[in-house]
Amino acid sequence: MEETLEAILQMAMEVTGARYGIFRLLDEQRTHLLTRAVVGEDLGAPHTEALPLDNNSIMGRAAMTRKTLCIADVLVQPWSKIYYPLDHTVKMRSELVTPLIGAGDRLEGVLNLESPRVNAFSDEDAMLLQSLAIQAVIAIQEVRLLDALQELSARLLANHPEEMYRRVVQLARELSGASLSGLWLFENRRLKLHTTSPDGSVIGSDFSDAFGYSLTSRRPTVVALSNSEFSQALVAPLLAGEDAPIGVLGIMAEPGQRLSTSDWDKKVLVLLARHAALAALNARRQALLRRFTPRERQVFDLMVAGLSNKAIAQTLVISPNTVKRHLRAIFDKLEVNSRAAAVAKVYSSMTH
C-alpha cells in the first residue's frame, strides 16, 4: 500500500508544486491518524507520530469536519494555533488537506500537502487533490481486503474453525467500520448466534425470520430490525456450493448509528462469508477423517492419490486382503460403497 500512496503523493506534488506530502490513515480504534506515507524534498526529521482525531490540528480538523481545507498562510490566525509542522527544520506557509472518504461515507484518513510559499494552492489544486483522494481510497480499500483474504486463506487449513470464525467476524467489523458483527450457524434448522465481534457481545433476539430473505435469495441483504436493540443489519449467507446456506455473516448498527450498506460493504461481506463457509465445511471434512484409524487414514490418502489396492499394499507393506479390509471399514464409516463415493463425500466440502 505504501508504494501506491507514495506514487499518489508524488503526482500531487508535481502538479501543485507542493514541497511535502503525507498520508495519515485512521487506526483501528478510529481515534488517531497514523502516518502511512511521506514524500518530500530534503526531508530532515519529519514528525510522523500519531495525531489525535480532533480539532487541535489542521489535519485533524479536516478529518473531523470532512471538508477540504486550503490554507493560504498557516502562520496567521486561527491556523497558527493548530498548525502541526511536518518538519521543524523547514518553514511551511501554505497547507492543503482533504479527507479520505470511503464507501458508505466512512472516514479513512487525510491527504495533506504543504508548501513554503504563501498562497501556494488554488481552488483547482484542491479539486485535483480531492480526485487523487478518491483514487487513494479505492487503493486503500482494495489492499485491505486483499490482505484480509490472503490471511484467511493461509489460516483455513492451519487454524481450528472456531479461530477462523472469530477472525472472520473481526475482519467484517474492521473493514466495514460497523459497531458489531456476528456469525450465525444453523442448529436444528434454526439460526443460532455463534461468534461476535467485539467478543462476547450480547445479541438477544432471534433473527431467523429477519434473515430469511438473504438465505432464500442467497444474496447480501439489508435488514431493518424490529423488536431488537439494533436498528439495521447487512447480512450475507454462508454458501456451500448449491447446497442450502449453512449460516449467515452480518454487521449491525445500534439505534442512532449509521450502517454502511454500499456495494463495497456487500462485496466484503460476501467474500468473508465464503471463507467462513469453507471453514465450516473443512470442519466437517476433518470430522469425517477423524473417524478413521491411523492405518485407515494412510489407506484413504493413498486411495485418493489414485493407487490401486496392490500399489497401496506394496507402499504400506501389507497384504492386498488387508487393504480390502481397511477399505471396507472406510466405506462403512462414510456410509458409501465405492472409492469414488468415499472421495466425493470427504472432499466435496473443499470443492463446494
SS (H, E, C) the chain: CHHHHHHHHHHHHHHHCCCEEEEEEECCCCCEEEEEEEEECCCCCCCCCCEECCCCCHHHHHHHHCCCEEECCCCCCCHHHHCCCCCCCCCCCEEEEEEEECHHHCEEEEEEEEECCCCCCCHHHHHHHHHHHHHHHHHHHHHHHHHHHHHHHHHHCCCCHHHHHHHHHHHHHHHHCCCEEEEEEEECCEEEEEEEECCCCCCCCCCCCCCHHHHHHCCCEEEECCCCCCCEEEEEEECCCCCCCCEEEEEEECCCCCCCCCHHHHHHHHHHHHHHHHHHHHHHHHHHHCCCCHHHHHHHHHHHCCCCHHHHHHHHCCCHHHHHHHHHHHHHHHCCCCHHHHHHHHHHHHHC
Q: Kindly tell me if the per-residue pLDDT of 248 is higher than 90.
A: yes
Based on the domain organization, do 141 and 48 belong to the same domain?
yes
Does the structure show a pLDDT above 90 at 121?
yes
Does one domain contain both 220 and 275? yes
**pLDDT surpasses 90 at 242:** no
Q: By residue range, what is the domain housing residue 191?
A: 160-286
Domain boundary among 265, 286, 307: 286
Whether residue 251 has pLDDT greater than 50: yes
Question: Is residue 208 within 8 Å of 215, Cβ to Cβ?
Answer: no
In this prediction, residue 221 carries a pLDDT of 92
pLDDT band of residue 350 (cuts 50, 70, 90) is very low
Percent residues over pLDDT 70 in the chain: 95
Do 17 and 89 belong together in one domain? Answer: yes
Question: What CATH number corresponds to the domain at position 324?
Answer: 1.10.10.10
What per-residue confidence (pLDDT) applies to 106?
84
Which range among 214-228, 289-303, 316-330 shows the weakest confidence by mean pLDDT? Answer: 214-228
Work out the average pLDDT over 21-46: 85
Last residue of a domain, one of 106, 121, 147: 147
- Mean per-residue pLDDT, 16-28: 90
299 and 269 in a common domain: no
Residues 47 and 112 in one domain: yes
Residues 18, 77, single domain; the answer is yes
Cα→Cα distances 55→22, 66, 79, 98, Å: 18, 12, 11, 14
Band of the pLDDT at 205, cuts 50, 70, 90?
low
Confidence of residue 295 (pLDDT cuts 50, 70, 90): very high
Residue 108 lies in a domain: yes
Q: How many domains would you assign to the chain? A: 3
Residue 45 confidence (pLDDT) above 80? no
Total-model pTM: 0.75
Last residue of a domain, one of 286, 302, 326: 286
- pLDDT at residue 202, as a whole number: 67
* 26 and 129 part of one domain: yes
Same domain, 108 and 27: yes
